Chains A and B, each alone.
Chain A
């Protein structure tokens, strides 16, 4: 017998039984639901459309008309560089840790406390970004100063730690650390989901062959979760790209482009630049900031598209 989709099917049979036409209540309700669905798609399209409409004057304006006397591309390029640098640093720091956290919760911690531990990690995601910003500038920044000095003295030959080390902790390095903490819960939640779905027979089979727990994880759990780790890392990257307040508060910015992570002057990020300048701007400066927002939107959208594509491809496999 064919596999019927029971819910819609029953509805159709019912409609047929009542003379073939759907009742008024049904029509109204299903239209409401459809309208909501369409509204959401329109909303997303609207975000792109309105940003484009308001950003266009700045994109087409000549360099002499814009506030800084730079063309739009010259203005946005260092910001985009800073955005990508901060987000990449955060992902590099967060992903290995997030995988370890996910493994600990799914396979190492006693099952009884695992749920609570997972909840603790989720709490990290619930902390508002303004609080991360204050914590970063008042607590983590000062604590990181000796670490940055050590990095300058001992690893100063690497361009990243060229120095001179900042004495305040308002550096890209600290921003990367804070962003890493902020994206850790997202990456680890997705890894956790995949790890806990590793087929039991694979895991038990490995252990029955005499594998230790780590060998079992290495040959079954990690390969099974690999694409989830990749997509989780990209979602985390997307989150870090758009994170605003923590960067705005912590980073001491100037318009330069540098890979030096521990110095006093750092490239700003698109989001932080908007938050810093928007309240005091007017006229074409607003359009310029909205145009940079459009660039940020495009970057995060591309990252998310890619991540979701990886996930959906893996689900069909």
Chain B
């Protein structure tokens, strides 16, 4: 019986009848520390080998370690456990190594941004602007600009996004609902620079060419933010159980009041989390703001009047036109990058904590 099933599954016949338990289907078994020993041995071998060649580098050593340990584990396991488990072990090891490879950029990025960003952080960074300063200066105008532009974007996106999600979950079952679902998905793929160009084209029609306003940036960010808000809001509204709605209707409550008093409060923590994650996604956008809010050296808090600086564009322009004192400008660019990353990380971590702490337990 076993061989026929094996043929259907596309694997080789078992070398001998199945035995129960983790000790598998071949005589032997690697000791539980076997794989780790091979990896450690491979690491030592790679380090020694490269040092002997005189071309030592950490990247090369790790790559060689992965290669050697895959081969090593396969060879040992094949000898002891048979070819099928040998393949299994080698593949498992390579997949784990691939995950490690994917984590390297994240670790390197966080490390470098912290290391290079800290020298540029000073009291002046948070309190001064860059007006009339040659080299150095602060980024207060950029920080305030980021908060204002993103704040206005949130004010535009959240009501319209949540109402649209309510439409999808509570009302929309016809053509409009299906079209909305599909086009919201398509909208999440709009490139950010295209959103910026759209905002520019829209405002240019009314205010003439060359227009730059803080609120144009907010409109561009809203185009990017609305689909994310709808998706997450739809997700949490859907899991509000129907029996809550039915209980409310049974008491004679109108539908709109049921939504406002029952559905939204039940989903509240999820809605807040979704909005925070969407904010984190757009707060670091550069390209759409580059073409809509412009570059300016001094503080401007009025989104409806004049150009407005923000952290991402600030980092870009410090890098692009560093002026006389290059290092100082690069320090400022990295400090702005670090501030942005910190804001994004805090937003995403707090968002998840809010959800864990305040979510309504639904049975």
Contact = CB atoms under 8 A, between A and B. Distances in A.
Interface of A: 5-8, 10-11, 13-14, 23, 25-26, 28-30, 32-41, 43-44, 46-47, 50-51, 53-54, 96-98, 100-101, 103-105, 108-109, 117, 119-124, 126-135, 137-140, 143, 181, 184, 188, 206, 209-215, 219, 235, 238-239, 241-245, 248-249, 271, 274-275, 278-279, 282-283, 286, 289-290, 293, 296-297, 300-301, 303-305, 307-308, 312
B209 A283 contact: yes
Given A41-B176, A44-B186, A134-B113, 10 more contacts: A37-B163, A46-B198, A104-B96, A132-B109, A134-B333, A138-B116, A181-B102, A211-B9, A293-B197, A312-B182
B319 A101 contact: no
The SS class assigned to the B binding surface is: helix
B135 to A, nearest CB: 19
B320 to A, nearest CB: 8
Contacts of B164: 33, 36-37, 39-40
Contacts of A98: 102
Interface of B: 2, 5-6, 9-11, 14, 18, 25, 59, 84-85, 87-88, 91-92, 94-96, 98-99, 101-103, 105-106, 108-109, 112-113, 116, 159-161, 163-164, 166-168, 170-173, 176-177, 179-180, 182-187, 189-195, 197-198, 200-202, 204-205, 209-210, 223, 226-227, 230, 242, 245-246, 249-250, 252, 254-257, 259-260, 280-281, 283-287, 290-291, 294-295, 312, 315-316, 319, 330, 333-334, 337, 340-341, 344-345, 348, 352
A181 B105 contact: yes
A175 to B, nearest CB: 14
A62 to B, nearest CB: 21
Given A37-B164, A101-B102, A300 B189 contact: yes
Interface residues of A, dominant DSSP: helix
A251 B50 CA distance: 33
Nearest to A48: B198
Considering residues A134, A139, A248, which has the most beta carbons from chain B within 10 angstroms of its beta carbon?
A: A134
A33 B237 CA distance: 14
Nearest to A96: B98
B230 A104 contact: no
B167 A212 contact: no
A282 B210 CA distance: 7
B83 to A, nearest CB: 10
Contact of A238 (B189, B198, B287): B189
A100 B167 contact: no
A270 B324 CA distance: 31
Contacts of A11: 249, 255
A279 B88 contact: no
B43 to A, nearest CB: 20
Contact of B287 (A129, A132, A140): A129
B223 A271 contact: no
A26 B91 CA distance: 58
B295 A279 contact: yes
B245 to A, nearest CB: 6
A271 B210 contact: no
A87 to B, nearest CB: 11
Given A104-B96, A129-B286, A304-B185, A50 B202 contact: yes
Contact of B101 (A14, A97, A293, A304): A97
A239 B105 CA distance: 18
B183 A124 contact: no
A140 to B, nearest CB: 8
B190 A135 contact: no
> What 10 A-B pairs have minimum CB-CB distances, sorted nearest first?
A242-B191, A128-B284, A29-B256, A100-B98, A36-B163, A304-B189, A244-B287, A33-B167, A212-B88, A50-B201
Contacts of A50: 198, 201-202, 205
A100 B287 contact: no
A131 B202 contact: no
Contact of B11 (A215, A235, A243): A215
Contacts of B18: 210
B190 A297 contact: yes
Contacts of A210: 2, 6, 14, 18, 25
A33 B163 contact: yes
Contacts of B198: 46-47, 50-51
A120 B106 contact: yes
